[in-house]
Structure 1
Amino acid sequence: MHLKLKIKKVLGKCILKVGGWTDYYPNEYVTDKCLIITAPHTSVWDYLFTFAAFWKREVKIKFLLSDSKSKIHINNMLKLFGGVKVQRNKGSAVDCSVHLINKYEKIVLLVLTEGSRKKVDKWKTGFYHIAKITDVPVALGYLDYEDKIAGIGDLFHVSGNIKTDLKKIERFYKNFTPKNPKNYNKKIF
């Protein structure tokens, strides 16, 4: 095992243990290529527990970073966590994600559907279009602050009927407790 992966695995285990968290990632949800969406997303702490759970399981996640020059120092640090810098002038986030998924034989791409830790009127649906174009499954990742579990609760292929699929996703996420409940909108669309 690569030294960096060993360090991340140990770090992930320590973060979860010190925080009193457990992780849940059944083998049937492990795949070479997928999108992972996570919710609820209401606190900066969400990042820590999400990354810790993936590191513990040695899942090499990737996520998009803005090409903003104002965030250059933060982006350089986030590259260590799996961030991939994209040039938005070469396409939308959906286009960049599709390119990234098609580029790699193995990739787990993390997409934040809420787009913010603040309360939003509706979730962003770019993940759905990415999954449809690339034909990769969507893993439903979650953080439940009440039971302190970071996990993957389902893995499915989008059907093409966005309304039906989003209703299923909405039902899945309705019972998880966020860090800041006032910032979470359980309605996806």
Structure 2
Amino acid sequence: MMPAWLARLMLRINGMRVVDHNHGNWPKKCVVPTGPHTSNRDFPYGIYSRAVVGKYIQFVAKSTLFSGPMGAIMKWTGGVPVVREKRTNFTQAVAKIFAEREEFYLCIAMEGTRKKVDRFRTGFYWIAREANVPMIFAKFDFGNRVIEFSKPFYPTGNVREDFDFIYRHFDGVKGLAAENSFNYDPAVLEELPAGEGSTQFNTD
């Protein structure tokens, strides 16, 4: 992982800074939903920010992508191959990685694309639930020139309530390509299953 001092320097050169609301005191495992993801240039900022917080935040992809020179690059930058068994889906396969590791931080771009979207993909949420781990949101706020890591958020099973909170957390945040930034319309919640529970967000 890049030295923290070098990462801070690179961020400073680009007019950015990192705010970690956990002050380095993270749980040993969590999903790190990230947004808004609007440009390929988000990637180096992710490399810099993980070095600043001192957590080796990784990403996952299908195992078939980890062959040849590109596979070596993906592993070098933190990629983890996911091997799906016949009776498991992608969510279960990723949850298995969490179960097998003592420490694991998984970054997932919620939009699933760099284009403008009106809703997030939900895979990050189901992975956190299946693995029984919290989420720490990484907000790439280029409007305010800050990359901000939230305190842990624990999914409750009340999908609509949880996503209402998540959407509001990222609503209006300016991405690097500002025209592709996310704006929240509560009507999208109607497409999600309802459930019981209340939002659990650590505010200590």
Partner of 1:127: 124
Name the aligned partner's letter for residue 116 of structure 1: T
Partner of 2:60: 64
Work out whether 1:166 is the aligned partner of 2:163.
yes
| Structure 1 gaps, min length 5 | none
Q: How does 1:24-43 map to 2 (within 5 A)?
A: 24-27=19-22, 30-43=26-39
Q: Classify the secondary structure of the residue corresponding to 1:151.
A: strand
1:60-104 Cα distance to aligned partner (Å, 9 max, x none): 112102334597433321211211012346543312210111111
Scaled by the length of structure 2, the TM-score of the pair is 0.80
Q: Classify the secondary structure of the residue corresponding to 1:13.
A: helix
Q: How does 1:1-189 map to 2 (within 5 A)?
A: 5=1, 7-27=2-22, 30-69=26-65, 72-88=68-84, 91-187=88-184, 189=188
Contact 1:65-1:75 within 8 A present in 2 as well: no
Larger radius of gyration: 2
CA distance in 2: counterparts of 1:154 and 1:69, whole angstroms = 32
Contact 2:66-2:81 within 8 A present in 1 as well: no
1:115-160 Cα distance to aligned partner (Å, 9 max, x none): 1111234211111111112221111111111111011123210110
Scaled by the length of structure 1, the TM-score of the pair is 0.86
1:28-49 Cα distance to aligned partner (Å, 9 max, x none): 6622111100110000111111
CA distance in 2: counterparts of 1:13 and 1:42, whole angstroms = 22
The two structures, once aligned, show a CA RMSD in angstroms of 2.2
Equivalent residue pairs, number:
184
CA distance in 1: counterparts of 2:46 and 2:107, whole angstroms = 10
Contact 1:35-1:108 within 8 A present in 2 as well: yes
Q: Which has the higher helix share?
A: 1
Cα pair distance change 1:137/1:93, threshold 3 Å: same
| Structure 2 gaps, min length 5 | 189-204
